[in-house]
Amino acid sequence: MPLHPLILALLLATACSWALGQGNSAIGPKTEAENPCHNEVSKFEQVIGFVRQTQGNKAAAELKEKLIPAKVETDILMKDGYCGLSKYLRERKLIN
């Protein structure tokens, strides 16, 4: 059974975050102030989480897919990381 696109995107985002963190393990984990791009993406995910809590998983998944298709999100994360995804979300006025 294939993974739902939202689950796949979240797993990919987690894996990318982990991989990026491992590359800088000698320096130590980044603080929130050092990673503003990740924080901006996190704000968007929090909104989707609120929709999930109030309207259910299906509504949240449909909304997220409509706002940013899973394939687009995955492609941006793989190519440009969280800053690329943050830029995409800002350009579409999905975050401030």
Q: What is the pTM of this model?
A: 0.63
State the total domains in the chain. 1
At 1-59, the pLDDT tens digits run: 454 555 545 545 554 454 445 444 444 455 555 588 999 999 999 999 999 999 999 99
Assess contact for 75 and 87: CB atoms under 8 A.
no
Taking residue 40's Cβ as centre, other Cβ atoms within 10 Å add up to 20
46 within some domain: yes
How far is it, in rounded angstroms, from Cα 62 to Cα 78?
22
Q: Which H or E element spans position 69?
A: none
- CB-side neighbour CA atoms (13 Å) of 25: 5
Range of the domain at 88: 37-96
The residue whose two tokens read 């969280």 is 82
Q: Domain for residue 26, yes or no?
A: no
- Within-domain flag for 31: no
Residue 53 resides in a domain: yes
In a domain, 18, yes or no: no
With respect to residue 68, please indicate whether it lies within any of the assigned structural domains.
yes
Judge whether 96 lies within some domain.
Answer: yes
State the pLDDT at residue 35.
86
